Amino acid sequence: MTEMRITQDTKRKDWTYEHQSNGKKQLLKLGFPDTPDGCRRAGAWAIQLANKYEATTVQIALTKTHARALAEGVQLGSYAFDIYKKQARTVQEITFETGDEQELDLGMVFGQLTNYARDLINIPANHMNSAQLVAEAKSIPGVKATIRDEAWLKKKGMECLLAVNRGSANKPVLIELSYGAKKDHIALVGKGVTYDTGGLNLKLEALEWMKADMGGAAAVLAIMRGASQLKIKQGLRAYIPVVENSIGPAAQRTGDIITSYSGTTIEIMNTDAEGRLILADALTYAQEFKPKEIIDFATLTGACIVALGHEAAGVYGDNKLCLELMDCGEKTGDLCWQMPLLEEFDRHMDSDNADVSNAGKNKLIGGSIQAASFLKRFVNEDQKWVHLDIAGTAFRKTKPLVQPHYQSQGANGGGVRLVLEYLRTI
């Protein structure tokens, strides 16, 4: 067993460290900016260095301020997707010498829940299919899970959800979760495409990353788990439409016209614009129970990554709620940025042959806004709603260029800390 104590060099304010080894006991001194996100990154750096030097027990004495951010960073920085590897990370025990204990505990929980979402996203689609997501939903303590199967979906007329899944051997489901009081509840809707080939509009590259297209579902499952764990007072209902967008003889075709659960007809102009279809049915259904607010989560568009990179999610909808979520993002480092819902982009979604098209008239401009405009058509005018496009914050193909960092290549669980903070503080 190798012990390491990590402490702050108060004379240094830049990103430096000094390592001293004395047999099995080690000392690591870090210098870093003393801001919440600096502490979050320093916590991640500390645990990454501890693993680098093969410490098994780590004592962290970095700062008395921003304790929660520090603990979040330690948890997030310790993440490694090693489920399928024989050799795991070395650190087995972490203790903190300084900081408010309640804040440290809260940071650890937020980090652990984000890492839970990261695991769900990183697990490959041959293991994380609709049946496994159902099992995850049923395992959440204090949360009631109701599973709506294919027969129920057909009976209700959720043709969008069914159409996307037609090419898959896996069965589609709609997962319903409830927590706390139903009156004045908030609805969470999470896109659950367990694998996305693009359908007949086949994706031309990066298919190995398409297991991550259920990042919205992962975020919702983590938040519902966190609501029970943190005993959040706000009542919640969650809706997770789960499909696999595959190719097969029954797969939907470009040019098909389907009827959504709301009765709106949709012309399929691109089978790779599938996430908005399943969200349309789920949003319509969620409104039947009269939520005071709806927050939907989706790895919806690559265009959002073009606009905001992997640094922030795009948030659309009710202005007040967008601003509140942006504030929660600043506090947690799980950032979002408000994007406009302009009429010009809504007109891109008009169809010559149906009520609406699932793909815009010009895919090269405002793709994330076009997708959000499509979703807005399925939200009642008096319904308070926001859409989080977490395509960039849920998963990234490369490591952050800024180092050290609490994000990593692969899943990063965007939306979890952001919305948990909102639910915890309203």
194-224 pLDDT, tens digit each: 999 999 999 988 899 999 999 999 999 999 9
Q: What is the pLDDT of residues 48-82, one digit of tens each?
A: 999 999 999 999 998 778 999 999 999 999 999 99
Cβ-proximal residues to 110 (8 Å cutoff; 6+ apart), any chain:
68, 72, 75, 226, 332, 416, 417, 420, 421
- What is the dihedral angle through the alpha carbons of 266, 269, 275, 276, rounded to the nearest 10 degrees? -40
Q: What percent of the chain has pLDDT over 90?
A: 90
By C-alpha distance, which of 254, 253, 260 is closest to 277? 260
Structural domains of the chain sorted by starting position, each given as residue range(s) with its CATH number in brackets:
3-99 (3.40.220.10), 125-425 (3.40.630.10)
Q: What is the pLDDT of residues 139-194, one digit of tens each?
A: 999 999 999 999 999 999 999 999 999 999 999 999 999 999 989 999 999 999 99
Mean pLDDT of the chain: 95
pTM score over 0.85: yes
Average pLDDT over residues 344-348: 95
- Range of weakest confidence among 26-35, 110-119, 148-157, 226-235: 26-35
Question: Residue 367's pLDDT band (boundaries 50, 70, 90)?
Answer: very high
- What is the dihedral angle through the alpha carbons of 209, 246, 376, 291, rounded to the nearest 10 degrees? -90
Q: In the predicted model, is pLDDT for residue 90 greater than 80?
A: no
3-state secondary structure of 285: helix
Q: Distance between CA atoms of 105 and 126, rounded to whole angstroms?
A: 35
Active site residues: 203, 276
For residues 231 and 145, the answer to whether their CB atoms sit within 8 Å is no
Average pLDDT over residues 85-108: 88
The pLDDT of residue 205:
86
Strand pairing category for 192-196 and 236-245 = parallel
**DSSP result, 189-216:** EE-EEEEE--TTS---S-GGGGGGGGHH
